[in-house]
Structure 1
Amino acid sequence: MRALVITGPDHAEVQDVAPPEPAVGEVVVDVSRAGICGTDVEFFTGEMAYLRSGDAAYPIRIGHEWMGTVTALGAGVDPAWLGARVTGDTMLGCGRCRRCTSGRQHVCEVRDEIGIRNGRPGALAEQLAVPAHALHRLPDGVDDVAGALVEPGGNAYRSVEAAALAPGERCLILGPGTIGLLCALFARARGAQVHLLGRSARSLDFARSLGFEGVWTDDDLPAGPWDAVIDASNATHLPARALELVEPGRRVVYVGLAGAPSMIDTRDLALKDVTAVGVLSASPGLAGTIAAYASGAVDPRGLVAATISLEELPAVLAGARPADAGPGPKIHVDLSDPRA
């Protein structure tokens, strides 16, 4: 089968690789659509931290935002999964440790991460092997585009849940990229007054096109109060800015990751009586995200700027933007047509 393989920094190619065989408890999914994100780009450039920690190594097969159809079952898997449209959890815990048995498999110390950690092959391939326990069914109301946006949506869903916003309260989101915009959509669905802070004119204009009027730069950001601040950026200075801006006694949520350490003054955290929450994974938010998409409360599909073939992907990872791309931040890969 065809799969995207990153063989070293700044080098990716489509290779013919052996198709997966489902192990006990696993299924094989024919991948229809997959997204790329900043983590995938960092693997391409060599900046991904797991490459330095030893949790990942080249060659690597990336891709963790996906949907598809179950076409083969391993031993012990319920036959009802065959033919199901699904997406799945990226984080695959050991299932035995204290974290896994308490429902926190996404922070299992020895977890695999699909397309990211411990050599687990990713979804930018025609087929993917996944443990059945990690699957989530996609209802008819969630099409393929939305299905491949469940994983990033789960991070945003968890971030907004962590912000603990009531209807009418004011939420400021730092960084109008994919996760920031998804946070904005989920916060708006909760009835919050949503504002976004960014720098790029293109990203700010795109946020306005989604119906968000409170779109600002540092130069024109109005005074609060900000009942919650969600940092969905990759800027090293914005975690401290989030703490500075949030109302005392409320919450800051950190879902963005910078390429270098970010500093906050814990005296400010304590003296303002602020709760700070970190969000690593979509795992606990996948079911809620699917429900929000299925009900129409959140429609993420407008974030997709272009859909490309697997063969076009190496150039996109290297920074090229498809000629027909719209203004959104997300690029999808169509794997449903073997001729694509």
Structure 2
Amino acid sequence: MKALTITSPNNSIVEDVPEPVAGDNQVVVDVTRVGICGTDQEFFTGEMVYLHSNQAKYPVRIGHEWCGIVSEIGKGVNPKWLGQRVTGDTMLGCGTCYRCTSGRQHVCDDRYEIGVRNGWPGACAEKLLVPERALHLLPDSIDDAIGALIEPAGNSLRAVEAALAGPGKEILIYGTGTIGLLCAQLAQAAGANVHLVGRNERTIKLAHEIGIKNAGTDLIKPRTGFDGIIDATNHKSIPHEIVQAVEPGGRVVYIGISGEPSLIDSRDLALKDVTAVGILSASPGLKGAIEIFARGEVDPRPLIAATISLNEVHVVFMGKRPKGAGDGPKIHIDPRMK
């Protein structure tokens, strides 16, 4: 089968690799759509932290935002999965440690991350190997475009819930990338008054088009201040800034990760009685994201700028937008495209 492999910093190829074979409690999925994430870009540039902590190494088969159809099942797998449209969890814990058995498999020390950590091949390929326990069924109301946005949406939903977004709450989101825009959509759907700050005029324009009225490059503080603030950027100064900007007793949520250390004075947290929450993965939010999209409460499809083939990915990694791309921050891949 065809698969995209990053071989070294700034080098990627589409190559023929052996098709996966479903082992015990595993399935093979024919991939119909996969998203390019900032993590994938960091693997391409060599900045990804796992490359420097020996939890990943080249060559890397990327792709962790995906959906597809189960085409093969291994021994012990429920036959109901065969032929079903699915997406799945990126985080694959060992299943036996205390974290895994207490519902926190996404922070298992020995976890694999599909297309990211410890060498589990990703979904930028025609087929993907996945454990049955990681699968989530997609209802007919969720198409492939939305199906491959479930993973970033699960992360975003967790961030929005951590900020306690709800009716009457003033929620500020820094960053107008995919996560920031999804957070804005989900927080607004929860009834919050959403404020979105970014630097990209194209995605700010898109935010207005999808109904986020208070979006711009400048921070306009509401009379009552911000009850919760989400950092969906990779800028090292924002973690400190949002602690200063949040109301006493409020919440700050960190889902963006800077390539450099970010400094927060814990005295600011304590003296303002602020709760700080870090979000690592979509795992606990996948089910909720599927339900919200299935009900039509949020339509994330405008965030997709273009859908390309595996052969076009290298050009995108080099910073060029596909011909005819829309304003959205997300690029999708259809491995079936020639």
- Shorter-normalised TM range: over 0.9
SS in 2 for 1:311: helix
In 1, Cα distance between equivalents of 2:219 and 2:163 = 25
**Counterpart position of 1:117:** 117
**Counterpart position of 2:249:** 249
What does residue range 257-272 of structure 1 map to in structure 2 within 5 Å? 257-272=257-272
In 1, Cα distance between equivalents of 2:300 and 2:306 = 14
Given that 1:22 and 1:28 are in contact with CA atoms closer than 8 Å, whether structure 2 keeps it comes out as yes
Q: What are the Cα deviations for residues 242-266 of structure 1, in whole angstroms up to 9, with x where unaligned?
A: 1111111111100001110111111
In 2, Cα distance between equivalents of 1:113 and 1:224 = 41
Q: What are the Cα deviations for residues 55-99 of structure 1, in whole angstroms up to 9, with x where unaligned?
A: 000001000000000000011000000000000000000000000
Deviation at 1:220, TM superposition (A): 5.4
In 1, Cα distance between equivalents of 2:7 and 2:282 = 27
Residue 10 of structure 2 corresponds to residue 10 of structure 1: yes
Residue 313 of structure 2 corresponds to residue 313 of structure 1: yes
**Counterpart position of 1:72:** 72
SS in 1 for 2:28: strand
In 1, Cα distance between equivalents of 2:224 and 2:192 = 14
Given that 1:62 and 1:116 are in contact with CA atoms closer than 8 Å, whether structure 2 keeps it comes out as yes
Q: Scaled by the length of structure 1, what TM-score is found?
A: 0.98
Q: What are the Cα deviations for residues 217-254 of structure 1, in whole angstroms up to 9, with x where unaligned?
A: 24656665101000001111011111111111111100
Task: Kindly provide the amino acid, as one letter, of the partner of residue 51 in structure 1.
Answer: L
SS in 1 for 2:187: helix
Deviation at 1:212, TM superposition (A): 1.2
Residue 209 of structure 2 corresponds to residue 204 of structure 1: no
**Counterpart position of 2:160:** 160
Q: What are the Cα deviations for residues 127-152 of structure 1, in whole angstroms up to 9, with x where unaligned?
A: 00000000000000100000000000
Given that 2:306 and 2:332 are in contact with CA atoms closer than 8 Å, whether structure 1 keeps it comes out as yes
In 2, Cα distance between equivalents of 1:313 and 1:305 = 14
**Counterpart position of 2:94:** 94
What does residue range 325-336 of structure 1 map to in structure 2 within 5 Å? 325-336=325-336
**Counterpart position of 1:276:** 276
Q: Which runs of 5+ in 2 are unaligned?
A: none
SS in 1 for 2:288: helix
Given that 1:303 and 1:328 are in contact with CA atoms closer than 8 Å, whether structure 2 keeps it comes out as yes
CA 1:42–1:224 in structure 2 vs 1: closer, same or farther (change >3 Å)?
Answer: farther
Q: What are the Cα deviations for residues 272-321 of structure 1, in whole angstroms up to 9, with x where unaligned?
A: 00000000000000000000000001111110000001100111112111
Consecutive aligned runs of 4 or more in structure 1 exceeding 3 Å deviation: 218-224
Q: Scaled by the length of structure 2, what TM-score is found?
A: 0.98
Given that 2:309 and 2:336 are in contact with CA atoms closer than 8 Å, whether structure 1 keeps it comes out as no
In 2, Cα distance between equivalents of 1:332 and 1:20 = 22
Given that 1:155 and 1:282 are in contact with CA atoms closer than 8 Å, whether structure 2 keeps it comes out as yes
Deviation at 1:15, TM superposition (A): 0.2
**Counterpart position of 2:170:** 170
In 1, Cα distance between equivalents of 2:51 and 2:224 = 40
**Counterpart position of 1:135:** 135
CA 1:178–1:334 in structure 2 vs 1: closer, same or farther (change >3 Å)?
Answer: same
Task: Kindly provide the amino acid, as one letter, of the partner of residue 137 in structure 2.
Answer: R
Task: Kindly provide the amino acid, as one letter, of the partner of residue 322 in structure 1.
Answer: P
**Counterpart position of 2:179:** 179
CA 1:162–1:203 in structure 2 vs 1: closer, same or farther (change >3 Å)?
Answer: same
- The CA RMSD over aligned residues, in Å, is 1.1
Given that 1:174 and 1:196 are in contact with CA atoms closer than 8 Å, whether structure 2 keeps it comes out as yes
**Counterpart position of 1:214:** 214
Task: Kindly provide the amino acid, as one letter, of the partner of residue 168 in structure 2.
Answer: G
Q: Percent identity?
A: 60
**Counterpart position of 2:44:** 44
**Counterpart position of 1:32:** 32
Given that 1:172 and 1:229 are in contact with CA atoms closer than 8 Å, whether structure 2 keeps it comes out as yes
Given that 1:224 and 1:245 are in contact with CA atoms closer than 8 Å, whether structure 2 keeps it comes out as no
In 2, Cα distance between equivalents of 1:149 and 1:202 = 20
